[in-house]
Structure 1
C-alpha cells in the first residue's frame, strides 16, 4: 500500500494496538479528532476510550503517566503535540524514564514511547518548530529515533513500541504528507540503532536524517547530474544508539564527509557524528568534515524558516568545499 509518513504512524499504531492490548495511546486531542495532524485518527473508534485517551495540556503529567503505566506492565504511547512542548517533561524523561533499568539494576524497564511532531518547515508559531534532538540524545538510557520515510516510520515505530526501554520518536512533520511510499501491509520492524545507506557512492559521504534527507538527496542528485559527483548518502535514522559502524565504513570509502541537520550548529548532533568519525577514521580523511545546519538562534516563524533551514544550494556548497580541499 502507498502511505504518507503520517499514515504510516497511524498504521503502526493500529497494528500494535490490535496485536497487544497492553498498548495504550494518549495525549492532547488524540481521541475524537485524531490529534492535531490526525496521526491517531480512527484509533478511538477501533479500540475504545479506555485505550485512546485525551489528556489535559500538561506535558509533565503526560510523560510522567507513561512512566507509571510502563512500570505497571502497559506499553504506553504518549503524544506530545509538538516537540517544542517537550521541555516541561524533560525531568520525567531524564530523571525517571531513562533511569529505570539502571536504578533497578536491570530488574525493571520502562517500555514506553513518546511521539512528537518535530522540526520546521510548516510555517508554525513559536515553540512549534524546534529541533532539539541533540539534547535528548545526550541522555543515557533514552533511545532517540528520527525516521525520514513512510516505510521506515512504520517499522521503527513498531520496534519502538515493542522495545523494553523508553524511546523518543521524533516525527519530521515537514514530510508528514509530502510524498507516498510503498509500505508492507503486514507488521514488521526496522531495527533501532541501524543507519541506512540511501545511495552508494565513492567521492563523499553525506549524512543526514529526518526531513533534511529531502534537500540532501536533491543536492546530491543535482551534483551528480551537473558535475558527475558520486556521493554516498547515509540516513542515520536512530540518533541514540548511533550506528557508528555504518558511518565509519562509509567515510573510510570516500575520505570526505558532510553532515546536515536543521537544529542549531553549536552543540548540534553533527558534532557527535564528526567526533566519532575523527576518532575512528581520522587517517582516512582527505578533508575536514563539513556541517550544514540551522543557525544559533531560535528558529524563526513563518517565511523566515526558508532562510534558516538547510536547503539544496547550501548543501551543494559544502559538498563542493569538501571536494575542493
Structure 2
C-alpha cells in the first residue's frame, strides 16, 4: 500500500546506524540485543525528534512561518532539537517550559540558550495557555509563529517514524537480521504511533513494545492508537488496522517523570561501561532499565533478538549528576 508522504526539510543524518550490542548481550545472558542509534541524528546531540522536525519544519516553512513555538519539561530533548532546527533554518524559536525558572543552566537548558531560543516558564499555569500568549506576542511583533505540540507528536511527527520503520526493515534485510521485539521509551506517543503504522506498511512482523516513562499503559495505548489511525488517514492508507499492535508496559514508572531511581542508574552505567554508549535519565535510561529487568525474569530469552531504539537524550545527563553518582 503506497503512502502519500508530505514534503520534508532534510535535517537528520540518515540512515542512523544499526549496531549489535555484543558485550551487553553476553553480560545479560539472554537475547541478542541490537540498537538503532537515533541518538546520532544530529541537531545539537541528536535524538528522535530530529526525524519529526523534518516534517514539522517543512510544514512551517510551506505556510510562510518564521518562528517555532513548542513546549516541554525543563530538560526536554524535543525543545533542544526544535531550537537547533530553528537555528539551522534561520527561524526564531520560543520554548515554553514546565514549572519555575531553574537556578542553574545545565544540560538542555544551556544548549537552548546557546542555540538562541527564548525561554518562557509556565509556573502553575496551563502550558497551552502560555503557548497561545507567546504566539500572540510574536504576531504583535510582526512574526508568523508555528506551534509544535508536546514531543512533536501529531500526524506530521508520527509520519517520520513510519519512514523510520521503512529504513529499519531495509537495514535488517540487507544484514539478514531477524528482530523479534523492538523496545523503546514512549511518552507523547508520536514515535510509537509511527512505528506501529510503519510495521504494517512495510511488513515488520515482530512485536513493538513501548516502555512508558510517564503515562498509565491504557491511557498511552489509546493515545498511540488514535494518533496512528489519524496518521494513516493523513498518509492515505486509512484502511490499515494497527490497534492490536500497540503494546505498552507501565511497570517502570517509579516515582514519576524524570525521577531517577536505581533502575535508570544501573541501566545508564551498564550500557556506558559495556558499550561506550550514553543513555539519558528520563527516557532511554528508564526504557533500557525496563528491558534489562524483562530479560532477567525471562520475558526475552536466548535465541531471540531484541532491538532497542535509542531515542537520544544524553545532553540532559549533566542536569542529573546528583542523582546518577553516589
TM-score (norm 1): 0.37
Higher relative contact order (CA 8 A, sep 6+): 2
Question: Higher helix share goes to which structure?
Answer: 2
TM-score (norm 2): 0.37
Question: Higher strand share goes to which structure?
Answer: 1
